[in-house]
Amino acid sequence: MRIRWMTKMLSLHSGPAVLLNRIAQEIDFEDTINRLLPWDPARCTLSPGARIKALAIHILCGLDPLYEVKDFYEDQDVALLFGSSVTADALNDDALVRALDKLYEATPWTVYSTLALHALSKLGHRLGPIHCDTNSFSLEGAYERECDLQIAYGYSKDRRPDLKQIVLGLGVTPERLPILATIENGNTSDKTWNVTFIRKLRQTLSQEDWEQILYVADSALITKRNLRYMGRLKLGFVSRLPDLFSEGETLKDLAWQ
């Protein structure tokens, strides 16, 4: 009697997803987001933290549109990444959009900064100098007018003044970890952005953390309004004195003496 064994082989492409998942576990990515977002565990088959983690891993692995995220995970070891009861079907675009809606309700920059500060602590780093600046991202096509974010013409740092844009503001530690990130209107000026960014930074940090930081920015930081505001908050800073201040030439002359 001859017995023939039939073996079904499942081929998966892991890529960097497993490593990214391990990093997410190390910084408590899912648990932190689940704690900050409004959701009902009894009504969710997969937590918003897990779904947003799925989006983050996908973004770092490729740039497919949202409706193709599920297809991406068809080739991944989903059980290893999210648990044995989870399938790629749970990561369809409708489920991901619902998670993003909950993230929006919780104020994205607040959620991000809380997660980033927790990660900084888990990795054993302390706050110190924070390098703060903006960058512009040009957009093509027609966009309906939005209430919360205006896609508009502004100073283009990628040299495309012919296109409308949005502005990304970052505060980054020497370890290259952004601890605060904000999306601003396309016509936002760095001079007005700094004071808004400092206000959000103060809302985010504890008094102990606040006393440790040194705000580092370019010369757009130095306006009378910003200087008065930083003085009230007792915020230490490093910047370049713009030439429009008469003291600038005096200090340059003193430096050469």
Question: Mapping DSSP to helix (H, G, I), strand (E, B) and coil, where does residue 44 land?
Answer: coil
Q: How many CB atoms lie within 10 A of CB 12?
A: 12
Tens place of pLDDT per residue across the chain (257 aa): 455 555 566 666 668 999 999 999 999 999 999 999 999 988 888 999 999 999 999 999 887 788 899 999 998 989 999 998 899 999 999 999 999 999 999 999 999 999 999 999 999 999 999 999 999 999 988 777 666 888 999 999 989 999 999 999 999 999 999 999 999 999 999 999 999 999 999 999 999 999 999 999 999 999 999 999 999 999 999 998 887 777 777 877 887 87
Same domain, 64 and 181: no
Same domain, 93 and 117: no
CATH of the domain at 191: 3.90.350.10
Distances 173 to 162, 210, 211 between C-alpha atoms, Å: 33, 14, 15
Same domain, 134 and 154: yes
Same domain, 205 and 115: yes
Residue 158 lies in a domain: yes
pTM attached to this predicted model: 0.85
What is the rounded radius of gyration, in angstroms, for the C-alpha atoms of the chain?
Answer: 23
Residue 194 lies in a domain: yes
Same domain, 122 and 202: yes
Distances 139 to 56, 142, 143, 145, 160 between C-alpha atoms, Å: 22, 9, 9, 14, 10
> Which residue in the block uniquely carries the two structure tokens 């007005």?
192
Q: DSSP label at 146?
A: P
Number of domains in the chain: 2
The range of the structural domain enclosing residue 221 comes to 109-242
Same domain, 83 and 126: no
- Work out the widest C-alpha separation in the chain, in whole angstroms: 102
> Which residue in the block uniquely carries the two structure tokens 């974010």?
149
- Measured at the CA of 41, the angle between CA 39 and CA 47, to 5 degrees, comes to 70
> Which residue in the block uniquely carries the two structure tokens 């508009």?
152
Q: How many CB atoms lie within 10 A of CB 77?
A: 15
Residue 186 contacts residue 161 (beta carbons within 8 Å): no
Distance CA 182, CA 176 (A): 16
Distance, first Cα to last Cα, the chain: 102
Distance CA 94, CA 10 (A): 27
Q: Pairing relation of β-strands 129-139 and 237-238?
A: unpaired
Residue 247 lies in a domain: no
Residue 76 contacts residue 14 (beta carbons within 8 Å): yes
Q: How many CB atoms lie within 10 A of CB 140?
A: 9
The last residue of a domain, from among 105, 137, 167 = 105
Helices (H), the chain: 17-26, 29-36, 48-61, 69-74, 78-82, 93-105, 108-122, 190-204, 207-212, 224-233, 246-256
